[in-house]
């Protein structure tokens, strides 16, 4: 499953990255975090960690059901918003 992730502080976009969650656990790096991800039978398990010091997040765990997003979806994490968009790869 292809997952686009964007991190906002208020209305300010801090960064955006894309990853592919497949059956094998992988680690992907972006300028804002490290993503450990794996696709299970019903959900993508994604753990975001190693945020830079200026971002007040330690670890964020996402359990995203396998689906196609019709629009950006979001999760509030303190003063931050994690927005994500999913596409099932064929």
**What is the residue whose two structure tokens read 């995203």?**
64
CA-to-CA separations, 11 to 18, 43, 57, 80, in angstroms, rounded = 20, 28, 17, 9
**DSSP state for residue 56 in the 8-state scheme:** -
Mean pLDDT on 60-71: 96
How far is the C-alpha of 64 from the C-alpha of 46, rounded, in Å? 8
pTM of the model: 0.91
Each residue of 19-42: pLDDT tens digit? 999 999 999 999 999 999 999 999
31, 50 contact by CB (below 8 A):
no
How many domains, the chain?
1
Residue 90: the pLDDT is 57
Each residue of 7-20: pLDDT tens digit? 999 999 999 999 99
Selection from 3, 25, 7 nearest residue 16 by Cα: 7
Domain extent for 49: 2-87
């Amino acid at each position: 499953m292809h997952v686009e992730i964007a991190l906002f502080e208020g209305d300010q976009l801090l960064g955006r990255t894309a990853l592919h969650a497949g059956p094998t656990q992988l680690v992907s790096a972006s300028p804002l975090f490290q993503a450990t991800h794996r696709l299970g039978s019903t959900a993508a398990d994604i753990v975001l960690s190693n945020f830079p010091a200026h971002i007040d997040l330690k670890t964020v765990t996402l359990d995203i059901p396998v689906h196609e997003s019709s629009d950006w979806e979001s999760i509030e994490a303190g003063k931050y918003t994690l927005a994500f968009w999913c596409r099932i790869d064929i």
